[in-house]
C-alpha cells in the first residue's frame, strides 16, 4: 500500500509514520532503513528485527532496544511521562522511578484465561527496563491519534500512558469431545487486547515469539492464518473461524473422535495484519460445536 509523504520526509514501510530521511533506523518504530525490504511473492513483508541499541522516540522520552535474542526495552522516562505493563516483564529499574499499580476490570474472567489482573505504571524521571521471557523480537507500533489496533493476548509488552487499553472476547472457539471429555478451545485466545491513542501519538510495544511478517489486505481480500500466529491487526480487519476438511481422510484412524481437519482464522480486509512464525497446532479431535465459521470440505 503506497503512501505519500510531505516533501523532505519519508514514510516508514513498517509503521507508516513520516520522518526525515536521515538515520539508519526509523525513529518511531526502530526498523532498519538502510536495508532492502524483504517481501515474499505472496506479499508478506518481513519485519526486520530492531537493531541492537536502536532508539525510539516518544514524547520527550525514548526507549532503547538492547540485545538481539531476547531483546530488552530500556526506557528513559523524562518528566512525568509514564508507561504501563504487566508486572512479570519488569527486568530492572532505577530507584528514582515511581511504580504504582492499577487493577483491571473483569478480574475473574481474566484470571481464568491466564491474563494479567494488574498493570504496573512506571513514571519518570529515570530508567526502567522490560523484557518478555521468550526468545523473539520486539515490535514497536507507533499509534497516531485515533488509531486503534487489536493484538493477540500475551503479546503485549508495554504502552505509553496516553494509549488506552481495553480487551474483548475474541468470539473464536470450538468444542471437542462430549460429556466429561467436552472441552472448549480458543485458538486465538479467549480475549484480545485493544489499544487506542486518543488525542496524542502513543507507542505500543509487542513481543513476537519468532519472525514477524506484515501484509496489507485490500477491501474484501481474505487470507487464512493459523489463529495462534496472529500478532496484531487493524480493527478494520474482521476475523472468524474457518474449518477445512481435506479429502480422503476417512479411515485414517480407528478413533471415532479423530478428525483430520485444519482450524484456520479467516482474515478479511481492508487493513494491515501481522503474524509471527511461532504458533501452536490445534490438534486433531473432532469438532462438535464452534463459533460462526466458514467450512471447506475438499
Partner 1 sequence: MERIECQWCRLQNDPGTASCLACGAPLDGRAVVTDSGWREAPRLRDMTEFRFAGSVVQVEGELVPVAEIALGHGDAVYFEHHLLLWKDEATPVAAMPTQGGIRRILGGMPFVLTMAYGPGRVAFSRDSPGELVVLPLHPGMELDVREHAFLLASHTIGYSFVRVQGLANVLHGGNGMYLDRFVTTSAPGLLVLHGYGDVFERSLGPGEKIMVEPGGFLYKDASVTMQAVQLPVRTGLLRRGMYLAEITGPGRVGIQSMYVHHHAE
Phi/psi of residue 180, nearest 5 degrees: -70, -20
State the minimum distance, in angstroms, from the CB of residue 246 to partner 1.
34
* CA pair distance 289, 287, nearest whole angstrom: 6
If the CB atoms of residues 88 and 182 are measured against partner 1, the closer one turns out to be 88
Give contact residues for partner 1 (rule: CB under 8 A).
Answer: 52-53, 55, 62, 64, 66-72, 74, 76, 87-88, 90-95, 99-101, 107, 111, 117-118, 120, 127, 129, 131, 133-135
State the minimum distance, in angstroms, from the CB of residue 82 to partner 1.
14
If the CB atoms of residues 64 and 282 are measured against partner 1, the closer one turns out to be 64
State the minimum distance, in angstroms, from the CB of residue 123 to partner 1.
13
Beta bridge partners of 189: none
Within the chain, residue ranges assigned H as helices are 107-112
Which helix (DSSP H) or strand (DSSP E) does residue 175 occupy?
strand 174-176
If the CB atoms of residues 74 and 193 are measured against partner 1, the closer one turns out to be 74
If the CB atoms of residues 155 and 272 are measured against partner 1, the closer one turns out to be 155
Report residue 214 as a C-alpha cell. Answer: 506484515
Neighbours of 194 (CB within 10 A): 15
State the minimum distance, in angstroms, from the CB of residue 131 to partner 1.
4
Give, rounded to a whole angstrom, the gap between the first and last alpha carbons of the chain: 33
Amino acid at each position: 500500500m503506497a503512501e505519500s509523504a510531505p516533501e523532505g520526509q519519508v514514510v516508514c514501510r513498517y509503521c507508516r509514520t513520516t520522518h526525515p530521511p536521515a538515520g539508519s533506523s526509523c525513529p518511531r518504530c526502530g526498523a532498519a532503513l538502510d536495508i532492502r525490504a524483504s517481501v515474499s511473492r505472496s506479499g508478506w513483508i518481513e519485519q526486520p528485527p530492531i537493531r541492537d541499541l536502536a532508539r525510539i522516540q516518544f514524547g520527550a522520552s525514548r526507549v532503547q532496544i538492547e540485545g538481539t535474542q531476547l531483546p530488552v526495552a530500556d526506557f528513559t522516562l523524562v518528566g512525568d511521562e509514564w508507561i504501563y505493563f504487566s508486572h512479570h516483564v519488569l527486568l530492572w529499574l532505577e530507584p528514582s522511578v515511581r511504580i504504582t499499580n492499577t487493577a483491571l476490570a473483569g478480574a475473574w474472567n481474566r484470571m481464568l484465561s491466564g491474563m494479567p489482573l494488574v498493570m504496573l505504571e512506571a513514571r519518570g524521571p529515570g530508567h526502567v527496563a522490560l523484557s518478555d521471557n521468550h526468545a523473539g523480537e520486539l515490535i514497536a507500533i507507533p499509534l497516531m491519534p485515533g488509531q486503534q489496533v487489536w493484538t493477540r493476548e500475551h503479546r503485549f509488552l508495554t504502552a505509553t500512558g496516553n494509549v488506552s487499553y481495553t480487551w474483548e472476547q475474541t468470539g473464536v472457539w470450538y468444542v471437542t469431545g462430549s460429556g466429561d471429555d467436552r472441552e472448549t478451545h480458543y485458538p486465538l485466545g479467549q480475549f484480545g487486547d485493544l489499544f487506542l491513542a486518543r488525542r496524542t501519538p502513543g507507542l505500543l510495544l509487542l513481543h513476537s515469539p519468532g519472525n514477524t511478517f506484515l501484509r496489507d489486505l485490500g477491501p474484501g481480500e481474505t487470507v487464512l492464518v493459523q489463529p495462534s500466529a496472529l500478532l496484531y491487526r487493524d480493527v478494520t480487519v474482521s476475523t472468524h473461524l474457518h474449518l477445512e476438511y481435506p479429502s480422503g481422510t476417512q479411515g485414517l484412524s480407528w478413533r471415532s473422535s479423530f478428525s483430520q481437519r485444519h482450524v484456520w482464522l479467516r482474515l478479511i480486509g481492508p487493513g494491515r495484519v501481522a503474524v509471527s512464525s511461532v504458533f501452536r497446532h490445534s490438534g486433531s479431535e473432532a469438532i462438535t460445536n464452534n463459533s460462526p465459521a466458514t467450512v471447506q470440505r475438499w
